[in-house]
Amino acid sequence: MDQGEAMRQTALSERQLFIDNLQNDYGLAPVEAEVLYDRVTTFSQMSHPDSRAHNQIIVTAVKKGEPAGKPIKYCEKIGVLITVLHPDDLSVRRKHGIVAERQSRILRICEEAIQQDAALSLEQLAHIFCTSKSTIKRDKQRLLAREITLPTRGEIESIGPCQTHKAKAVANLLKGYSLEDTARRMAHCPESVARYWEAFGAVAYLHEKGFSPLTIRKLVNLSERVVNEYIELVEQAVTDGNTGQLRQVTARYRDLDAIRQRGGLARAVHRKRGGPPLRIRRRRPR
């Protein structure tokens, strides 16, 4: 995908439509409109996690725990919400090509289903992506060659839960791989990997301070599965004596000014230390 095509596709996104309306109807600057959109989206996701966005669809999937060999007809099934298109998809295509974009989307959709207590099959993925089952199988093998297991129904029920791609990315960063190298190995955009790393730092810091996984999950807005995987990576790094990268990623959260930027996270840390409620001052975007 060339730069012009990427810009045209981005301009047709739901996000850009919202931002254009804010600029045209309320006279906001582009940066102000983008910040407002991101905050509204985050608030909506936290307040109404079951609501469906324009880039999402509901599919029927087999509930997790049903044996892989059991006929679909007799399996318990549930509806799951999956994200067909994500803002990062165009960035992945631009940097790594259309095949890498599809693999990234397949991983995301499979893990979204798992977080909702369901599992998708290769056949369902082929239907969702309007391609053949053979194509999905080839993508599965290419991911496996990079030590990334595609968490489909067959994989989950035969070998148990697989590590999420977020944890895989963080594990690479802990080993000393750069952000760019990790993004290339995972067929992700560097921006996504940077977000995983930042979230991991928050989890590592809170775990160090003695917060429970449930509290951490609420504070950083991650799934229970991802939080537990991040905690396992923290404990493994400590056990192996590989704490250099760990200290680096948690350093920003040791600075109170940086912690304050996370709002609720700052209040929780401060209360645990026995201090009075913090007043968070929000900076206006320039």
More confident residue, 147 or 121: 121
Beta strands 118-119; 77-83: pairing state: unpaired
CA diameter of the chain: 59
What number is the average pLDDT over the span 200-214? 89
133 Cβ contact list (under 8 Å, min separation 6)? 122, 123, 126
What pLDDT does residue 43 have? 66
Nearest to 165 by CA among 177, 182, 148, 179: 148
pLDDT digits (tens, 9 = 90+) for 134-147: 999 999 888 888 87
The token duo for 46 is 């936290």
Please check the confidence at residue 46 and state whether its pLDDT lies above 70: no
| 254 DSSP assignment | G
SS3 assignment, position 63: strand
The residue type at 269: V
Q: What angle do CA 145, 110, 152 make, to 5 degrees?
A: 65
What number is the average pLDDT over the span 47-72? 77
pLDDT digits (tens, 9 = 90+) for 153-162: 877 765 455 6
What number is the average pLDDT over the span 267-284? 46
What pLDDT does residue 200 have? 92
pLDDT digits (tens, 9 = 90+) for 60-107: 889 888 876 778 788 889 889 888 888 788 888 888 888 888 998 998
Q: Reduce the secondary structure of 67-83 to three states and give it as a string.
A: CCCCCHHHCCEEEEEEE
User: Rounded to an integer, what distance in angstroms lies between the CA atom of residue 168 and that of residue 188?
Assistant: 12
More confident residue, 269 or 44: 44
What pLDDT does residue 50 have? 60
User: Rounded to an integer, what distance in angstroms lies between the CA atom of residue 71 and that of residue 68?
Assistant: 8
What pLDDT does residue 184 have? 78
User: Rounded to an integer, what distance in angstroms lies between the CA atom of residue 100 and that of residue 63?
Assistant: 28
SS3 assignment, position 280: coil
In this structure, the number of other CB atoms found within 10 A of the CB of residue 105 comes to 23
Please check the confidence at residue 277 and state whether its pLDDT lies above 80: no
pTM higher than 0.85: no
